[in-house]
A and B are shown apart, each in its own frame.
Chain A
Amino acid sequence: GQQVMQIPQYQHVQEGEDFTTYCNSSTTLSNIQWYKQRPGGHPVFLIQLVKSGEVKKQKRLTFQFGEAKKNSSLHITATQTTDVGTYFCAGPKQGGSEKLVFGKGTKLTVNP
């Protein structure tokens, strides 16, 4: 079945260091979405990428969508303690469904 994989599962960094999480889909995606879940909280939508090779930036966060539309990455420059949380990527379920298939997430911890 369709799978969305994320690596690494955990990442611990010193404040100020960069961080990257990678997302790979077993199928071509029409779009990919990224969500952030703070400890004890619920997932919050960050961004959506639609075009092949698309790159979007939100302040220190850079999101990329691969040329083949099967992989994506989220890069955070100079992490801050406020970046702590689990980052999930998600893509539409095969078959044109409104459902989303989520990756397992990357849990980021930042040491001040």
Chain B
Amino acid sequence: GAVVSQHPSRVICKSGTSVKIECRSLDFQATTMFWYRQFPKQSLMLMATSNEGSKATYEQGVEKDKFLINHASLTLSTLTVTSAHPEDSSFYICSAKEFSSYNSPLHFGNGTRLTVT
């Protein structure tokens, strides 16, 4: 089955520093990947859609200069949280579709728990 790998699984960083999270599709190519954020006991909030070879599209209210997304290849997308602050602490999850169609299911990475001190 389709596997999405996310790294790191946990990261603790100091306020003001930047953190990069990698998302890889291991056994399929993904022209589109999706980045979600999940607060404790809450649902998945779509942050942005990562498009291979072009700029990411961000959801309303998500700062594109703070959450930098780069989709360098058909199997890799990265999310960089720049100048992190404690309020950025959250669970970040990437996902991808094995098949590019509107009704194809999402395959999620294991998520990255970010703690900013």
Give me the interface of A with B, judged by CB distance under 8 Å.
30-31, 33, 35, 41-45, 48, 50, 88, 90, 92, 96-105, 107
B66-74, B79-87, B105-113 - interface stretch: B105-113
Q: What are 10 A-B interface contacts by the 8 Å CB criterion?
A: A31-B102, A42-B93, A42-B110, A88-B43, A92-B102, A96-B102, A98-B100, A100-B106, A101-B46, A104-B43
Instruction: Give the distance in Å from the alpha carbon of A33 to the alpha carbon of B108 in the complex.
Output: 14
Residue in contact with A31 in the complex, picked from B42, B43, B103, CB distance below 8 Å: B103
* Residues on the B chain within 8 Å of A98, using CB: 32, 49, 97, 100-102, 104
Instruction: Give the distance in Å from the alpha carbon of A50 to the alpha carbon of B111 in the complex.
Output: 28
* Residues on the A chain within 8 Å of B109, using CB: 42
Contacts known (A42-B111, A104-B43, A105-B43); A99 close to B49, Cβ less than 8 A: yes
Nearest 4 A/B pairs, CB to CB: A45-B105, A104-B43, A42-B108, A31-B103
Of A30, A50, A96, A105, the most chain B CB neighbours within 10 A belong to A105
Instruction: Give the distance in Å from the alpha carbon of A39 to the alpha carbon of B108 in the complex.
Output: 15
* Residues on the B chain within 8 Å of A30, using CB: 102-103
